Amino acid sequence: MPETTAIIYSPRHREHQPRIEVLYGRHTPHPERPERVEAIRLAIAGSRWEHTVRGPSSFPIVIATSVHEPAYVAFLHEHADLAAEEGLDGEWFPYTWPRDRGLDLGTPISKHTVDLAWHSAECALTAAKVVRDGAPWSFSIGRPPGHHASVGAHGGYCYFNHAALVAQSFLDAPSMTGRTADRVAILDLDIHHGNGTQDIFYASDRVFYASIHGEPDWAYPPHSGFAGETGTRAGSGANYNQPLPIGTGWREYSHALDRAFDRMAQFDPSHLVVSQGFDTFSGDRWGGFELHAPDYARIGERLRTFGRPIVIILEGGYEPANIAAGTMSLLDGLA
């Protein structure tokens, strides 16, 4: 019997509490906080979605090497061990690129980072299994997020790339019909370009990556997400970036969404993975777009009418009230 939809949540995300990031030489309180996901959990409690919430299954961390370099996974383990000894109050920060495999000073490694980051990835992998077993969609609300983690580097608050792991799992593991996916699309709707996801599949003709995000001259990361980045070798043409100006509202955003769905339809994937950020919501501290709660219902409707099984993965969004409102609206659209 086919699975029903599921929202994957684990209270263990509360244990991931990075203290600070360093911005322009200043220590500032870290914005990737447990309140982000707890706001979603509280909004779901008592709603029609409450019965769909379930915990993650366990997956061996060796699965991470399906999209990340084994040396990078070993690096994370090694620096988790070093954090208490050599870090700043238990948090290790990179010193120089590329030796330290860190894109910024906002993604510290502490003693428990690898364990908790992988647990977040397990939420996404569980969501993928729910869809492989027949559900039309599932939603992973784990943290820390993932789409900035590349083949061999962490950054942007991300350590393991959940969207990439889910897409690769569809390509590798059979569904309830006994078939693996031939092609998978990833739609990245965070305001920040998913440089890590692009990096992982840039030469692949089996994964189409489409991203709608802020222009790199004002939105993180500054080195990635340009319209001219279209893929390489076998993946030429399978990467589609749409960087948009600051102040973008629904009208312009919806046109970009139409273009992305047109490109994905041409690719004809069997599954869709969505990196859903709510930092596109008006007023987000790391934002710059002007989307509002009803717009996420429209996004949900577009996802539903695309007609492919979907795994949605929480990425950014740093105002708890907005992330909760956006999530509930997105769920309404999916329904």
**Per-residue model confidence (pLDDT) at position 25:** 87
267-277 mean pLDDT: 97
166-190 mean pLDDT: 88
Give CA torsion, residues 116, 121, 124, 128, to 10 deg: -140
237-257 mean pLDDT: 98
1, pLDDT greater than 50: no
> In terms of DSSP bridges, do strands 271-276 and 184-188 run parallel, antiparallel, or are they unpaired?
parallel
Q: What is the pLDDT of residues 31-77, one digit of tens each?
A: 999 999 999 999 999 999 999 999 999 999 999 999 999 999 999 99
The residue behind tokens 């061999």 is 152
CA distance 320 to 325: 9
Active-site residue, from 13, 68, 148, 192: 148
Helices (H), the chain: 35-44, 70-86, 113-132, 162-172, 195-201, 250-267, 293-306, 320-334
Residue 147 annotated in active site: no
The residue behind tokens 């109050």 is 89
> In terms of DSSP bridges, do strands 26-29 and 20-23 run parallel, antiparallel, or are they unpaired?
antiparallel
Type of residue numbered 315: E
Q: How confident is the model at residue 10 (pLDDT cuts 50, 70, 90)?
A: very high
- Percentages helix, strand, coil for the chain (3-state, rounded to 5) are 40, 20, 45
**Per-residue model confidence (pLDDT) at position 176:** 63
User: Do the beta carbons of residue 213 and residue 244 sit within 8 Å?
Assistant: yes
**Per-residue model confidence (pLDDT) at position 127:** 98
**Per-residue model confidence (pLDDT) at position 177:** 66
Q: What is the pLDDT of residues 108-136, one digit of tens each?
A: 999 999 999 999 999 999 999 999 999 99
> In terms of DSSP bridges, do strands 53-54 and 184-188 run parallel, antiparallel, or are they unpaired?
unpaired
Burial of 254 (0-12, 13-18, 19+ CB in 10 A): middle
Residue-wise burial string across 167-197, b where 16 or more C-beta atoms lie within 10 A, e elsewhere: bbbbbeeebeeeeebebbbbbbbbbbbbbbb
**Per-residue model confidence (pLDDT) at position 89:** 78
**Per-residue model confidence (pLDDT) at position 181:** 79
185, pLDDT greater than 60: yes
Show the tokens assigned to 105: 């000073």
Of the candidates 2, 6, 12, the residue with the CA atom closest to the CA atom of residue 50: 6
79-106 mean pLDDT: 89
Mean pLDDT of the chain: 96
267, pLDDT greater than 80: yes
139, pLDDT greater than 50: yes
Q: How confident is the model at residue 2 (pLDDT cuts 50, 70, 90)?
A: low
Phi-psi region of 220 (alpha: psi -120 to 50; beta: other; left: phi over 0): beta
Q: How many CB atoms lie within 10 A of CB 229?
A: 18
158-171 mean pLDDT: 98
**Per-residue model confidence (pLDDT) at position 6:** 97
> Could you give the percent of the chain with pLDDT greater than 90?
92
User: Do the beta carbons of residue 7 and residue 49 sit within 8 Å?
Assistant: yes
Show the tokens assigned to 122: 């397990």
Q: Which domains does the chain have, with CATH numbers?
A: 6-334 (3.40.800.20)
